[in-house]
A and B are shown apart, each in its own frame.
Chain A
Amino acid sequence: MNIIAATIRRELLIAFRSPGDIINPLMFFIIAVTLFPLGVGADTEFLSRIASGIIWVTALLAVMLSMDSLFRADYEDGSLEQLLLSPQPLYFIILAKVGSHWLVSGLPIVILAPVLASMLALPAEAMLPLLAGLLIGTPILTLIGAVGMALTVGLSRSGLLLAVLVLPLYVPVLVFGTGTVSTALGGLGISGLLALLGAMLVLAICLAPLAIMAALRISVS
């Protein structure tokens, strides 16, 4: 079996055997979104105006919180060292790992988002832009989060440190993601923004694994 398929299979097996790693970020997403109407009032007109912002910010936080399951188990049981000593190309193994992680933590968030968005009275014509933005944006968030995770996996209590490192880097994705919805609601075309997000995704796919490799070597030494 080639290494990429083997990696994806391994990651998915591990993920499905620890259902908490999949369910907990989703539950956080749902509960956090629920807090907003409780905090700002149930006025649907007002909620509909801030809906995309709420969805995006909580999705972003949920993705960030889910990053802990990415390298921690491997770091603790020594698998990470073996990975760094593997003769197979580490670049693709890392991409496969991060990709599998997105499949089990980012993608469910994207799928659940329309449900929550309609609870927040997001107008129907904004659904597709929201989905498209999240679909392209969550992998970027996962990749950036993976860089942060690789840097902090060897440190204790690294959860908040990860937030400090990674949230500023999430700003562009957040801006363009919510911008997609605002632009669509304004009646303008969103293909330009989606292309921009797509370009950021390509950049992340190309560069993030390099940073992750360097960071993993530091964390393991």
Chain B
Amino acid sequence: MLSVKDLFCERDERVLFQNLSFYMAAGEVWQIEGSNGSGKTTLLRILCGLNDEFEGRIEWQGQDIRRVRQDFNQSLFYLGHTPAINKTLTPKENLSWFCASRGLHKQDQIKQALNSFNLYGYDDMPCYQLSAGQQRRVSLARMKLSEAPLWIVDEPFTALDKQGVIELEAFFAAHAAQGGTVILTTHHRLEIEHGVKSINLDRLAGLAA
């Protein structure tokens, strides 16, 4: 689905990675590993298209990503460091906006999505009244509504308790089993029986240097 050829990125005159090439197929779970500052978030943002300070080629379904931008955006679900949830809106309103912004007509499934992330009864409270963990879960609930095959998530397990982590891992595994692809960064050790492919940026930098 997503292939990267000879990616080169430099920030603040420090080379983050060079000659980076990989291919991510459907049904795979990829973990980008590396110490803080090794460029994990930058790599994810480059793959999403939020950062275009790079050289190299990124292809989506075999075509240059810049040509099929809209198609790629339709197929992508991105979760960054910040939850992308407006604090004055309720979870229901936030998810309703999410559906509208992706052209999904799933108003009836919003309540169910919130419930599956343990947010019973919180649908109509403004998000600033929720804890950080709850806000994160509202953000994750969007994944339940998204129909995008490619998920790119940055540190998804932050602010989740142990049960939440297990459920989220199962969720990722299920998505991959259905033919989707998950790319994520985390410091946590993934326990997915599906098998996780990984890219270690520290090791790659060490090899190159």
Contact = CB atoms under 8 A, between A and B. Distances in A.
* Direct touching of A and B (C-beta under 8 Å): yes
Interface of A: 1-3, 6-7, 10, 13-14, 17-18, 73-74, 76-79, 81-88, 93, 217, 220-221
Classify the secondary structure of A's interface with B: helix
Interface of B: 45, 48-53, 70-71, 73-74, 76, 78, 80-89, 93, 96-98, 100-103, 126
Contact of A74 (B49, B81, B86): B86
B16 to A, nearest CB: 14
Contact of B84 (A2, A13, A77): A77
A83 B98 CA distance: 10
Contacts of A87: 70-71, 73-74, 102-103
B126 to A, nearest CB: 7
A73 B86 CA distance: 8
22 contacts: A1-B100, A3-B101, A6-B97, A7-B100, A13-B88, A14-B88, A17-B89, A74-B86, A77-B83, A78-B81, A78-B83, A79-B85, A79-B86, A81-B80, A82-B84, A85-B48, A85-B76, A87-B70, A88-B103, A217-B50, A220-B50, A221-B50
Nearest to A86: B101
B136 to A, nearest CB: 11
A86 B73 contact: yes
Given A17-B126, A86-B73, A221-B52, A81 B102 contact: no
Nearest to B48: A85
Classify the secondary structure of B's interface with A: loop
B182 to A, nearest CB: 17
A83 B48 CA distance: 12
Pairs A-B, 8 closest by C-beta atoms: A78-B82, A6-B100, A78-B84, A87-B74, A87-B73, A17-B88, A82-B84, A221-B51
A73 B52 CA distance: 24
B72 to A, nearest CB: 9
Contact of B101 (A6, A14, A217): A6
B80 A18 contact: no
Nearest to B105: A1
A44 to B, nearest CB: 44
A14 B89 contact: yes
Contact of B78 (A1, A85, A221): A85
A6 B87 CA distance: 17
A74 B89 CA distance: 12
Contacts of A17: 88-89, 126
B82 A77 contact: yes
A143 B76 CA distance: 30
A3 B100 CA distance: 6
A39 B112 CA distance: 61
A1 B78 CA distance: 22
B50 A10 contact: no
Contacts of B53: 221
Contact of A85 (B49, B81, B97, B103): B49
Contacts of A83: 101
Contacts of A81: 50, 78, 80, 82, 84
A73 B128 CA distance: 13
A204 to B, nearest CB: 25
A13 B93 contact: yes
B55 to A, nearest CB: 15
Contacts of B97: 6, 10
Contacts of B89: 10, 13-14, 17
Given A3-B101, A87-B103, A76 B86 contact: no
A14 B87 CA distance: 9
